[in-house]
Structure 1
Amino acid sequence: MVADDIAVAGVERLRTVAQVDVEAEITSAQLLARIPGYHALVVRSRTKVDSALLAAAGQLRVVGRAGVGVDNVDVEAAAARGVIVVNSPLAATTAVAELTLALMLAVARQVPLADTAMKQGEWPKKKLQGVELEGKTLGLIGFGRIGREVARRAQVFGMRIVAYEVIPIDPASVAHLATLLELQQVLAAADYISLHVPVTSATRNIIDAAALASCKPGVRIV
């Protein structure tokens, strides 16, 4: 079963190897009732694959997440029942990296304020003075695929890149993209901060009151 919207091409590819039912609007209760008859489940972000759903899925063998993170899948419960969880780690890398730069530019140039003012027939020019990205320091929290793509694009704008990675990596292997620092050092150095980490016990609320107190005044967080 495909329980969320995915590209038609993806559905057609699945149909070359299996019988596929697309139920993109299925509710949690409906899914719980119907899941016993399925061997595979494909979801995006809307559908939550929790322990109760997995317990009802007696024939389920694999859960496919059409995206990068698996925050909406109880991976431990799946493993305990022998259900494989797979994702598509490259699916949104470029799109998310480009969106990150778009959001950074939006806050740097006061785009949301300008948009609202224009729709109200106003042009408060003095309030719309922005700042340049060139020469600013971008702090990346998480330096996996997406973080590195953001770094490549930010370099084009003349930004200095510092990064913190939860999983240890060799600093020399990414020296052409960023300087690896400890989290507190990144927070203290950055004019812009962008987060690219999954939600885990180690990263949940990573930007808390103490972290904000370590940041520069006026830091922009994406």
Structure 2
Amino acid sequence: MNHQIKPRRSVLYMPGSNPRALEKARGLMADCLILDLEDAVAVAAKADARTLVSEAVKAGGYGGRELIIRINSLDSAWGVDDVKAACEAGPDAILLPKVESAEMVRKLERMMVEYNAPARVKIWCMMETPRGMLQASAIAASSDRLTCFVMGTSDLVKDLHARHTALRLPVLTSLGLCLLAARAENIDILDGVYLDLNDEDGFRDSCLQGLEFGFDGK
């Protein structure tokens, strides 16, 4: 697949329902911003968040940061409207959650064509379920528009009935499968979030571990 080198060392999730956060993000030191319409947004705020995120992307002012819109799943009550709005707003990429098959990616790609997304808008995939891990190779090869995997280790740990540990032993197999698939198809792959914001040493160790594993960012 075609691959354009871009720094994706640090990636921040910003809740799409919070206008102050969307404004503050314009000055944050991060390579990429994921403007979230999914997990970070309450059900009652989904529609308003979609509008806020669309307007923020159209307004710009984020410098050289990549802007990614994480939509709700395509089969949810909000998925289709999220795709329509994202295609019109024109972010750098649309992030599809809980990807479990190549067909899910191809379905999003068809919708992006239908809703006239600019050709420069790429697809990113959240890899966060056991089924997704087992389909990582097929997913990575599913579309030339796909340029990045994003590990969703929090949901993955929950689905595995595992626990978060410093060395992340419960998810090493999953991380390895996705890394292999990403490298085989020459796409980027981002490590999962670090949950304890008060543990700077633990965060540093987690970043170093991700670098040693071969992730492109976190």
Q: TM-score, normalised by structure 2?
A: 0.32
More helix by share: 2
Structure with max Cα Rg: 1
Normalising by the residue count of structure 1, what TM-score does the alignment of the two structures yield?
Answer: 0.31
